[in-house]
Structure 1
């Protein structure tokens, strides 16, 4: 019986490894996901916790993690961060939270991933061989992704809070650009003094 369980467990793990490998290969060939920079994480406290911040976000960075956490902000607050991820690539975050007399808290935020210093070349192909005939330097270009957001959070009961956020995400790569919008919805449920659940 133990041998059969071990065999089933080994087969399941092998299938999971194959599936994850295929998914990683497909992701790599797809060139990434638009807006993936929004999953990098922001804030020293949240990053030190490994991103386990959805249920306890209680500062201006809640606009990033879980907009329901804005309900816990008691006064005007600013959060900023800038990190160099690798050469000439920086992740920048800024948010400003403003609690109102009605019990709601609003926040403005900006997340940006900027890379610069890429070499641009002009390539002319030989029509007969389809091989490069001439390659001339064309200067440099940059890749900039940015999300501007407006978020809101409020306690709806003594133990439940709710929040929403909209983001305008833009990307500029060389001379081209595109944009899209996102909607974040989050909730928090207090389970007494020791526990809190976060949904989002």
Structure 2
């Protein structure tokens, strides 16, 4: 029990303590949505053109012709954590569109044993309670075509809500901005700037509840962690091209560069910024059956002999589309290329044009 309480305390401190700029604040918003995109290793910044564009590149929302709905579920860490996503988008007119999406990443039904032993030293299992630690992200998207042919822009306004049982909770706000451009020969380019103003989180900590964790673990008397977080901006650049082969087959390819303004283990890393590429492809047959694959998250990993080895994360996926309903599946974190466990991702997309 002491080990579990120690883990809980450390997790709490890591979650809410802040530096001048937190490098990993709100990372749940960077996991990704839509099994089709995850099967392509998230390399969809330039090509994204449906309801899921609210996440990947809001400028792509201008391509939808009717209302669309998307749903996704996946589990992480051997089904301990659940990641759920829902999105809705619709055109306003021929030149603009709006969308809204919700992400929830949570571990539910965690045992709170801080009150297991009463003041007299008696163990009472009725004093055990359950709590959840959950992160929520709500995104409001707007996209519009610009007077220049093939050029579109989009913006996101994000509201972040994070809850750690009765111990602490926070509210956060941020903005994204993006553009897409398509040439006459159908090359597509995309830029997505996340958290352009930095995303600010303000935490409220219940000092009495936090004290119960400190008191339950012998020798743990830490001061309350700081209550503010700032998420630094990120940039994604993408270039994509779709080829048609003998009318029935299509091949979509895209290459993205993901830029973070920090020094880390990315493939290219400097004191100013770090860059890692991702590549994805999709082979389609009669616009009904899809096979996807990709590779990304290239990292320079330090080995035990102080040498460096480049690791990467491959992904694969399949999809099936019938009329206006599309079901997709992705299998990520494959093999020994990642410290994470295997993840199975399922998503559903519905285009309401079929129900007119």
TM-score scaled by length of structure 1: 0.75
Tell me the residue number matched to 1:155: 145
Distance change >3 Å, CA 33–CA 123, structure 1 → 2:
farther
Give the alignment partner of residue 46 of structure 2, picking from 35, 55, 59: 55
Quick check: 1:99–1:106 contact (8 Å CA) kept in 2?
Answer: yes
Deviation, 1:121, is 2.2
Segments of structure 2 that go 5 or more residues without pairing to the other structure are 1-12, 16-22, 193-356
* 1:76 has 2:40 as partner: no
* Corresponding residue number in structure 1 for 2:106: 114
2:180 is equivalent to residue 188 of structure 1: yes
For structure 1, the residue ranges without an aligned partner over 5 or more in a row are 1-28, 125-132
Aligned to 2:132: 142
TM-score (normalizing by structure 2) = 0.43
Provide closer, same or farther for how the CA distance between residues 54 and 114 of structure 1 changes in structure 2, counting only shifts above 3 A. same
**TM-aligned CA deviation for residue 88 of structure 1:** 3.3
Deviation per CA, 1:23-51: give whole Å up to 9, x if none: xxxxxx95583311111111121111100
Aligned length: 165
Change (3 A) 1:123 1:199: same
CA apart distance, 1:102: 4.9
CA pair 134-57 structure 1, distance change in 2 beyond 3 A: farther
Contact 1:42 1:64 in 2 (8 A): yes
RMSD: 2.3
**What's the offset of the Cα at 1:84?**
1.4
Question: Structure 1: which 4+ aligned runs deviate by more than 6 Å?
Answer: 133-136
- 2:80 counterpart (78, 85, 88): 88
Q: Which residue of 2 aligns with 1:172?
A: 163
When structure 1 is superposed on structure 2, of 44-53 and 137-146 the one drifting more is 137-146
2:32 paired with 1:41 = yes
Work out the CA distance in 1 between the residues paired with 2:99 and 2:134: 23
